[in-house]
């Protein structure tokens, strides 16, 4: 089934540098193959809404570099002497080679070298500021583990940690700040995504307002209920989210990705219990529901329909280091 050229082309353009140099560029034919796995009546709206959403939530290499370049001279962060701030800064580097954080540090090193003539390996001092970089903060578990590791290495109580990321989820901020009360945090980002349960009606993640009449979804819903966690649905009212084009578009993404995710879980024996239809999360829900993707990778917190593999054809092949 051929679809309107505009949303198909838009997706290939938006995602043009996704894992560039690692996998072949996304083509219109691949987008068509991917969307053909969904209900025919929903495919066109799904493509239109996804292209709209990813315009807000996909971070290309150029966009991330722009964020880093702007922060180099942001006075609220660095004060009146940017060069001194960065030369003294202690940048966390504990995730290892090949990770998104290591790549981001490499990118930031380029920026620092252009501006000041030194890279991240030249930075650091005993009394310098603490800086944590990553491409996105999702559940908060990764940054929590990293900062606990950093704290055990001698980070002083009451120290301020500057967290820099392209996108940060509000639930992760709350989680990290409440688990690490001995530290102070300042968050720097291009996009903040509301995903706290208290504010579900104003959320900017995929959070279904209803359960589709689909056998596999109903079975998954029943499993949540039997475990004592009935789905907590949002009210379909206009909120503050600017991610989605409309309530109808958002509803289409939520319903189709939820149905596809349950189908994928039935098809694949490789997925663990936390890899839920709308994305990886420990909590017993339909899933995390982020739509944030960076040029480096698609997070497993995104819906399975975007990244899960064989026998499903993913839109975005995911790196699993």
**pLDDT at residue 96 in the model:** 59
Per the DSSP assignment, residues forming a β-bridge with 174 are none
Average of per-residue pLDDT values in the chain: 93
Is the pLDDT at 279 greater than 90? The verdict is yes
DSSP three-state, residue 307: helix
Q: What is the DSSP letter of 20?
A: B
**Can you list the positions of beta strands (E) in 236-315?**
275-276, 279-280, 293-294
Architecture of domain 73-193: 3-Layer(aba) Sandwich (3.40)
Contacts of 164 (CB under 8 A, 6+ apart): 67, 68, 71, 131, 132, 133, 134, 188, 189
User: Mean pLDDT, to the nearest integer, of 230-257?
Assistant: 91
User: Mean pLDDT, to the nearest integer, of 206-214?
Assistant: 97
**pLDDT at residue 95 in the model:** 65
CA distance 21 to 25: 9
Chain-centre distance for alpha carbon 305 = 15
Provide the whole-model pTM. Answer: 0.94
- CA angle 116–101–106, rounded 5-degree value: 35
DSSP string, 160-216: EEEEEEEEEEHHHHHHHHHH-TTSEEEEEEEEEE---GGGGGG-SS---SS--S-HH
Domain locations along the chain: 5-58+197-307, 73-193
Is the pLDDT at 299 greater than 80? The verdict is yes
CA distance 97 to 166: 20
Is the pLDDT at 185 greater than 90? The verdict is yes
DSSP three-state, residue 59: strand
**pLDDT at residue 101 in the model:** 86
Encode pLDDT of 68-116 as tens digits: 999 999 999 999 999 999 999 999 987 655 578 888 999 999 999 999 9
């Amino acid at each position: 089934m051929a679809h309107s050229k505009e949303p198909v082309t838009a997706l290939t353009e938006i995602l043009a540098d996704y894992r560039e140099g690692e996998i072949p560029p996304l083509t219109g034919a691949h987008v068509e193959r991917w969307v053909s796995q969904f209900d025919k009546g929903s495919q066109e709206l799904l493509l239109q809404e996804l292209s709209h959403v990813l315009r807000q939530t996909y971070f290309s290499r150029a966009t991330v570099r722009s964020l880093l370049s702007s922060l180099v001279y942001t006075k609220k962060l660095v004060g009146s002497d940017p060069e001194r701030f960065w030369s003294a800064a202690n940048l966390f580097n504990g995730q290892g080679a090949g990770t998104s954080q290591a790549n981001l540090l490499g990118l930031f090193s380029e920026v620092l070298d252009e501006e000041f003539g030194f890279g991240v390996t030249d930075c650091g001092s005993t009394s310098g500021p603490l800086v944590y970089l990553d491409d996105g903060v999702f559940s908060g578990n990764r940054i929590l583990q990293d900062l606990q590791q950093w704290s055990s290495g001698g980070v002083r109580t009451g120290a301020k940690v500057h967290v820099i990321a392209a996108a940060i989820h509000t639930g992760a901020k709350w989680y990290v700040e409440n688990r690490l009360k001995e530290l102070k945090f300042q968050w720097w980002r291009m996009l903040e995504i509301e995903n706290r349960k208290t504010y579900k009606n104003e959320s900017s993640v995929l959070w279904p307002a209803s359960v589709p009449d689909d056998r596999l979804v109903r079975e998954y819903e029943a499993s949540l209920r039997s475990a004592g966690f009935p789905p907590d649905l949002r009210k379909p009212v206009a909120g503050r989210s600017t991610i989605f084009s409309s309530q109808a578009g958002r509803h289409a993404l939520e319903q189709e990705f939820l149905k596809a995710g349950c189908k994928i879980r039935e098809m694949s024996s490789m997925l663990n219990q936390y890899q839920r239809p709308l994305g990886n999360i420990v909590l017993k829900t339909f899933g995390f529901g982020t739509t944030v993707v960076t040029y480096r990778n698609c997070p497993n917190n995104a819906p399975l329909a975007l990244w899960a593999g064989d026998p499903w054809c993913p839109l975005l092949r995911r790196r699993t280091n």
